[in-house]
Amino acid sequence: MENYWSTVILVFLLAAVPPSFQQDLTPYCRGYKWIVIDCGAANTFYDGSIGKTWETDDSYIQAGEKKLVSISTIRDEMKTLRCFPSGPKNCYNLPLENHSNYLFVPVFCMETMTTFKSRQHLALSNDTIYHEFIFTTGKKGHVNVCLIQTQANQIPFISSLEAAPVEETTYRLMTKNMALYFESRINYGANQSVPERLPLCVDLYSRIWKPEQVSRYRNIDDFIGWTWLVAENYPPSAVLETAIVANNASESIFLPINFREKYQVLAYFVLYFDASTVHPFMEESETTKLDIFVDGQLVNITQFPIMDSRLVVSVCPVNVTGGTANLTISVAEGATTPPFLNGLEVFSVIGVSKAVRSSTDLSVFKTFFGLVMFSLYVVL
């Protein structure tokens, strides 16, 4: 895909710089206190594909055992892990900035469970379990990330851990009393040549965007953008330069969005639009105006001015029941161009509750995404 590869030329330029110089520059490129941990690794290494330096976890935890595993992956950070055969609870301590927003990413490579197969008797999967959530740190800044043994003879482990600082204006509807749990992030219209994990030179937060084409709509994946406008949440150009488009103005875009939990949850939707991708030569007589529905309820009406074509629509809270939300995008009354969508992010909203007052005086929330054999919670 030409527009993606033109965007990532900087990656190859960076790869030509000596590794020691790359690593020295990395903290300045990422911002302060960006933590990228290869759990169980013996050495640090620079990952040119995403523009990050993976460090060992020795500075963050002393408990547990390091393991080198043999799995079929090109991701070096997935080839090591730290496991915890002893103790019901083991915690990483991350020195984050206080009263700051962070994008937090723990990753568990389930293929590594074969290491413990004889002791676990679990159905194995080769999938990487990727969790992500966004939260605001408390007054002390330091965050404990704890893995809890929930079943006898089950060994908790973790493959990698990241904490990226997020600007206060990003995901602006999130309050200090909530955390956002990642459900879906889709790069609509993009083909499979676009990687899911975008490097820092393309995406400020190196988020995972799943490329997805929808056969019943037109898929645009060959547009090369000309605008340098910065949109809310800093969506990468690799996302805004692809899109799905309805076949005509009378057709709506219908997208079912699945959630991990089947009970009622509160959701946070972020829709990304770039009208220039779909209508680069729009006439003055043409108008783009969209109605956005979730489960049949109108949640937003968006009109696109011709000169400022990049718009982001954030909607929160949205009540979702039954594990699926139906997103519909239709042409609003008086509009003449078909509906479209470039990218989508969906989160569940987690309430952050105050812990019982103690000497540490911390806030606590427990994630609802317990793994098969253990659970994870974060102490702020």
Give phi and psi for 76, each to the nearest 5: -60, -35
> pLDDT below 70 — which residues of the chain?
1-32, 71-74, 110-127, 223-228, 280-286, 306-308, 353-380
**134, 165, 226 from 205: Cα distances, Å:** 12, 8, 22
Tens digit of each residue's pLDDT (9 = 90 or more) over 309-333: 789 999 999 999 999 999 999 999 9
Domain range list for the chain:
31-177+352-379, 211-345
Q: Say how far apart CA 45 and CA 53 lie, in whole Å.
A: 6
Looking at residue 351, its pLDDT comes to 82
Give the C-alpha distances (Å, rounded to integers) separating 279 from 138, 190, 221, 243, 342.
45, 17, 14, 11, 13
Q: Write out pLDDT tens, residues 107-163.
A: 887 655 554 443 333 333 346 778 898 999 888 888 888 888 877 777 888 999 999
Domain 31-177+352-379: which topology? Jelly Rolls (2.60.120)
What's the token pair of residue 322?
Answer: 């039954």
pTM of the predicted model as reported, rounded to 2 decimal places:
0.84
Instruction: Give the Å distances, CA to CA, from 120 to 63, 85, 128, 150.
Output: 21, 12, 18, 13
CATH fold for domain 211-345:
Jelly Rolls (2.60.120)
Q: Do domains 31-177+352-379 and 211-345 have the same CATH topology?
A: yes
